[in-house]
Structure 1
Amino acid sequence: MTREHPENPSLEDMGEDFWNERYRSEKRIWSANPNRHLVAEAADLAPGRALDVGSGEGADALWLAERGWRVTAVDISAVALEKGGAHARERGGDVAGRITWTRADVTAWTPPEDAFDLVTSQFMHLGPGDRARLFPALASAVAPGGELLVVAHHPRDLEEGVPRPPIPEMFYTGDEVVAALPEGEWTVLVDEARPGTSTMDGVAHTVHDLVVRARRHA
């Protein structure tokens, strides 16, 4: 990392320049596989309109598009979106045409209301103030009858010695997500700290991911 992008960045460091530099640093910084919780929770949903918030290099958007979804993929990094578009074109068929790549800073951007049958945010770690704005906006973007899926590293990972960024305020529980859903308008289908195994620097760790899935009443 450069001095402008330190090895242990703060939340304030993680803006557009930080992410563009990180995505330039390697051919892929994430695997080409969709997030396992998206696959588990969305595989049986009928395809419609999806919003992928924090889409990165596009693995989740591609997985959805290959299943017939029309996807709006949003990320702060133009470099990540360029990679995602290239990966989509490599897939051939109609995949690339089903995805709209949108550069936006989600701390200031507001998605259209009632517009998507699925809104998914996978491992979007922001500060408390930005989350307080973002979660209600994501809920408002879900069309009646649609679903919201929020996945994140659970704060218990810090307590159990999993090597996560030492920034406690970037972690949160399901209570924070559920509190953003207007009372009486939603059914919470899943709210759990889901265990799994992740290998970091050659060491296998038991990790827990927050998974919140909720359906807006039709």
Structure 2
Amino acid sequence: MDANAWDERYAASELVWSVGPNQFVEAECADLPPGRALDLAAGEGRNAIWLARRGWEVTAADFSQVALDKGRTLAGDVDVAWVCADATAWSETGAYDLVVIAYLQLPAAERREAVRRGFAALRPGGTFLLVGHDTSNLAEGTGGPQDPRVLMTAEDVLADLAGEEVEVVRAERVARFVTVADEHGAEAERTAYDCLVRLRRP
């Protein structure tokens, strides 16, 4: 989807994503010392706001101005820099201690561009964290995009950074448990599969 389509999706509901941070972003970043962070393809800013509340100086970038406006409202007096920008065209290099890309839904070539640009934005010693819908979720999991072109594996993300010097902290498939209505209308717990890639830039 292009920016206009995402604008329409964000405008159609109060919140597309949850108010709180993604569970994997929270777990992986909780012990990092605050510095300067970039939430690339930030959507409504749930991860950016959480980081800012923990003392980070945060830039939240997304190509949907509607999403950013909603994030700014959600943030209230929490200080976040909201920037309307395409993740595949981000050009700030060597500027951040942390770059987060969470659930970016792009075909492989565009994803590769965003991943490489996000990684390039890191300072030496910085952390790169990507969480996305795993390819296996289509057949084995629940929810998430049903277009295989925008799904990925940890191996795909590592391949996106071929030629870069990286220190791999984690690169694997992870399970996320979600509550859905079953065929009888009762609540049931199902498993969604994500890929998680955490890297350090030497």
- The TM-score with structure 2 as length reference comes to 0.91
Q: What's the CA shift for 1:54?
A: 1.4
Q: What's the CA shift for 1:166?
A: 2.6
Partner of 1:206: 191
Q: Does 1:81 align with 2:62?
A: no
Aligned mates of 1:180, 1:203 — CA distance in 2? 36
Letter in 1 for 2:20: N
Partner of 2:102: 122
Aligned mates of 1:88, 1:216 — CA distance in 2? 30
Match of 1:42 among 24, 29, 36: 29
Which segment drifts farther, 160-169 or 113-122?
Answer: 160-169
Match of 1:150 among 121, 130, 139: 130
Q: Which runs of 5+ in 1 are unaligned?
A: 1-13
Partner of 2:119: 139
**Identity across matched positions, percent:** 40
Q: Which runs of 5+ in 2 are unaligned?
A: 182-186
How many pairs are equivalent? 197
- The TM-score with structure 1 as length reference comes to 0.85
Structure 1 residues 145, 30: closer, same or farther in 2, change over 3 A? Answer: same
4+ runs deviating over 6 angstroms: none
Partner of 1:102: 83
User: 1:100-153 deviations in whole A, cap 9, x for unaligned?
Assistant: 10011223x123111110000000110011012221111111110001000001
Name the SS for the 1:61 alignment partner: helix
Aligned mates of 1:182, 1:163 — CA distance in 2? 30
CA contact (8 A) 2:141 2:192 kept: no
Partner of 1:166: 146
Q: What CA RMSD, in Å, does the superposition of the two structures yield over aligned residues?
A: 1.6
CA contact (8 A) 2:129 2:198 kept: yes
Name the SS for the 2:97 alignment partner: strand
